Amino acid sequence: MRIDFQQVCVTRDGRNLLDSLSLSLEERRIGIIGANGSGKTTLARLCNGLVLPDTGRVLVEGLDTRKEVAEVRRRVGMVFQFPEAQIIQPIVLEDVAFGLQLRGFSGKQARAEAEELLRRLDLWELAERTAHSLSGGERQLVALAAVLITKPELILFDEPTNQLDLRHRNRLRARLRALPAQVIVVTHDLELLDDFDRVLLLDEGQLVFDGPPAQAVARYVAACA
Amino acid sequence: MLSLYQPGQSLLHRLPAGGKLLALSLFGVLIFLTREPLVLAAAALGAVLLLWHLRLPPALLLRQLAVTLLLLAFLVIANGLLVSWNEALIVGLRLLALVAAATAVTYATRPSEIIAALQAALRPLGPGGEKAAFTLGLVLALVLRFIPEVLFRIRELREAMAARGAPAAPLRLIVPLAIRLLRSADEVGLALEARGFPPDLTRPSKERIEVR
């Protein structure tokens, strides 16, 4: 999937969150790094129309996020930084099925698909749990399942390992590697990006480096020293 | 995310949610049509047996029903002292029957099945019924979702205040609680959008999703 940013500016409260950004993203695994407030989350949210540019435009496979946002969101899934926000239904199985119900599947069909997916992802033991009883790591994996069920072409991850212990971090990392979909990951977990195809480094709303992970990370570490 | 539902394979678990809700409603009406203590005792016993057949851990039941049972005991004693002990018996048996039956249905029915049954009942009511029913279901799910979050946030704020040595007076909690809940509601709204809300119920089902 190709995403084009054309002269994109995003301003909030008089501050430039992103400043005249132009680039195209096509690689299968893309990382976004940078200090807090550098515009990472804004850049990711532009890809599914949760943030709209003040000037310029964002095209997802040629679809303008301003004009065709519903179609864009059918094709682009997102795992939020705090996955509890995106868990809507009281029971895990129901929440995973919910994404399909939003797309017109009957409750029965959606449930059957959700059951199959949870078994495939080795999360079946969580199916009947209430969402608030899950640990942070379990929530992250459930949130991912809830996105995967709609089979998006691109999945955005906003700091996916932020609240995870080492076991869940490794589990999520393995899951990320195995995903057939294209992914864009916003993260402070630099190791996560080791085998990514491309990493963008942002600083105060500007793209300051765009290239292979090792060089991007080295540049970032040097800038923070 | 609050739910009393407990997974299980009992007969009550397997019955359709719509039927259970209808039966519960009828049961609730019928026990108010009689004042015969023997009939009410039979109804209460039946409801308690229904709850018992779910084989739930007694500690769980006690923890979740403690407040309700205390309230029930208070109402029985108040009726006994203020009206008559016969009236207290009738009130007590009625409420016990109702609480036990409703608890059994709640424990044995997924919230989504309850919501789906309510949606099915509302769907034929008018134009745009499907969309209205979906929205109602979502509203109910969100209410269930936010109850434990509010409780969690209150606990979190109390602990934060205690850690800083401030007394956790309820009035002091209101503003920070409201701010946190508004932020949380904002995130939930964004997540709903990202997941595809509002639903597209207008397209023919084949076009609704093309599995990639």
What is this model's ipTM? 0.78
Q: Do A86 and B193 touch (CB under 8 A)?
A: no
Instruction: State the pLDDT at residue B145.
Output: 80
Instruction: State the pLDDT at residue B204.
Output: 42
In a domain, B73, yes or no: yes
Residue B121 DSSP one-character state:
H
Contact B192, A88 (CB under 8 A): yes
pLDDT over threshold 70, residue B32: yes
Query: Domain span at residue B70?
Result: 11-110
Look at B135 and A213; give whichever has higher pLDDT: A213
Same domain, B106 and B133: no
Same domain, B25 and B103: yes
Residue of A151, A144, A153 lying closest to A175 (CA atoms):
A144
Beta strands in B77-197 (DSSP E): none
Q: How far is residue A75 from each of residues A28, A162, A182, B75, B209, measured CA to CA in Å?
A: 15, 25, 11, 57, 10
Chain B contact present for A174, CB below 8 A = no
Same domain, B88 and B144: no
In chain A, which stretches have pLDDT less than 70?
Answer: none
In a domain, B207, yes or no: no
What is the residue type of B101? A
Q: Do A90 and B116 touch (CB under 8 A)?
A: no
Same domain, B29 and B86: yes
Residues of A in contact with B140 (CB under 8 A): none
* Number of domains forming the structure of chain B: 2
pTM for the whole structure? 0.75
Per the rule left: phi > 0, alpha: psi between -120 and 50, beta: everything else, A164 is: beta
In a domain, B58, yes or no: yes
Number of H helices, E strands in chain A: 7, 10
DSSP letters of A27-85? -SEEEEEESTTSSHHHHHHHTTTSS--SEEEEEETTEETTT-HHHHHHHEEEE-SSGGG
Chain B contact present for A74, CB below 8 A = yes
In a domain, B93, yes or no: yes
In a domain, B35, yes or no: yes
pLDDT over threshold 70, residue B211: no
Q: Do B195 and A99 touch (CB under 8 A)?
A: yes
For chain A, first and last CA: distance in Å?
A: 36
Same domain, B31 and B80: yes
Instruction: State the pLDDT at residue B97.
Output: 94
Please state, rounded to an integer, the average pLDDT across all residues of chain B. Answer: 83
Same domain, B189 and B156: yes
Instruction: State the pLDDT at residue B49.
Output: 93
Instruction: State the pLDDT at residue B205.
Output: 43
Q: Return the number of other C-beta atoms located less than 10 Å from residue B208's C-beta.
A: 17
Same domain, B77 and B25: yes
Q: Do A104 and B212 touch (CB under 8 A)?
A: no
Residue A130 DSSP one-character state:
B
Contact A56, A8 (CB under 8 A): yes
Same domain, B63 and B131: no
**What gap in Å lies between CA A188 and CA A31, rounded to an integer?**
10
**What gap in Å lies between CA A182 and CA A152, rounded to an integer?**
9
What is the nearest CA distance from A185 to chain B, expressed in angstroms? 16
Lookup result for tokens 């009939």: B39
Query: Which residues lie below 8 Å from residue A63, measured CB to CB, with a gap of 6+?
Result: A71, A72, A75
Please name the member of A88, A97, A105 whose beta carbon is closest to the beta carbon of B145. A88
**What are the structure tokens assigned to A102, written together?**
């939003």
**What gap in Å lies between CA B100 and CA B28, rounded to an integer?**
11
Burial class (CB in 10 A: 0-12, 13-18, 19+), A154: buried
Instruction: State the pLDDT at residue B201.
Output: 56
Burial class (CB in 10 A: 0-12, 13-18, 19+), A195: exposed
Instruction: State the pLDDT at residue B3.
Output: 58
Q: Do A132 and B152 touch (CB under 8 A)?
A: yes
What is the nearest CA distance from B148 to chain A, expressed in angstroms? 7
Same domain, B131 and B106: no
Gyration radius of chain B's alpha carbons: 22
Query: Which residues lie below 8 Å from residue B76, measured CB to CB, with a gap of 6+?
Result: B88, B89, B91, B92
Instruction: State the pLDDT at residue B206.
Output: 41
Q: Do B110 and A91 touch (CB under 8 A)?
A: yes
pLDDT over threshold 50, residue B137: yes
Same domain, B156 and B90: no
Same domain, B23 and B106: yes
Chain B contact present for A91, CB below 8 A = yes
Burial class (CB in 10 A: 0-12, 13-18, 19+), A120: exposed
Same domain, B77 and B136: no
In a domain, B3, yes or no: no
Residue of B173, B146, B144 lying closest to B157 (CA atoms):
B173
Model confidence pLDDT, tens digit, residues B38-64: 999 999 999 999 999 888 888 888 887
Model confidence pLDDT, tens digit, residues B148-158: 788 888 888 88
In a domain, B212, yes or no: no
Taking residues B138-162, what's their average pLDDT?
82
In a domain, B200, yes or no: no
Instruction: State the pLDDT at residue B207.
Output: 42
